[in-house]
């Protein structure tokens, strides 16, 4: 089952034309990712500052279908999927009043933080993937 996150577009998210700045769409998606981790009882402080492993984004993509403006009420739905023993991908769908306005993808790889070499996903991430997958 996918995870959903509600967010209001803030003035700081927009550019001079009053629409959401393209890079901020990924920041908004990352907020939804963090919320989904927390909802699965993953301690964010430990997760993002764990000295033994990291989950860098190795690929990101956004398709913009309609503009988003300050004050818009967004619903971000995310659906993670395991791609292998050491990587996963998250598909995001951003809607306003049930109209899809953007779609995004982030691909993450699990690495040893010291050596920067790939390692298998830990059990807590596998559980998160299973909980939030379609």
Query: Catalytic amino acids?
Result: 15
Region of 20 on the Ramachandran plot (φ > 0 left; ψ -120 to 50 alpha; else beta): beta
Pairing status of strand 3-8 against strand 111-112: unpaired
Q: Which two tokens stand for residue 124?
A: 């807590």
Single out the residue of 37, 99, 56, 52 nearest to residue 74, CA to CA.
99
Q: How far apart are CA 113 and CA 101, in angstroms?
A: 36
Q: How far apart are CA 20 and CA 12, in angstroms?
A: 9
């Amino acid at each position: 089952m996918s995870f959903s996150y509600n967010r209001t577009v803030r003035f700081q998210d927009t550019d001079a034309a009053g629409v959401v700045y393209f890079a901020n769409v990924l920041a908004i998606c990352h907020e939804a990712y963090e919320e989904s981790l927390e909802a699965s009882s993953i301690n964010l402080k430990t997760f993002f500052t764990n000295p033994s492993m990291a989950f860098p984004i190795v690929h990101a993509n956004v398709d913009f279908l309609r503009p988003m403006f300050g004050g818009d009420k967004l619903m971000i739905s995310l659906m993670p999927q395991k791609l292998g023993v050491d990587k996963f991908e998250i598909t995001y769908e951003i809607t306003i009043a049930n109209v899809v306005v953007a779609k995004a993808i982030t691909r993450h790889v699990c690495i040893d933080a010291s050596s920067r070499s790939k390692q298998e996903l830990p059990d807590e991430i596998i559980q998160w993937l299973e909980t939030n997958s379609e």
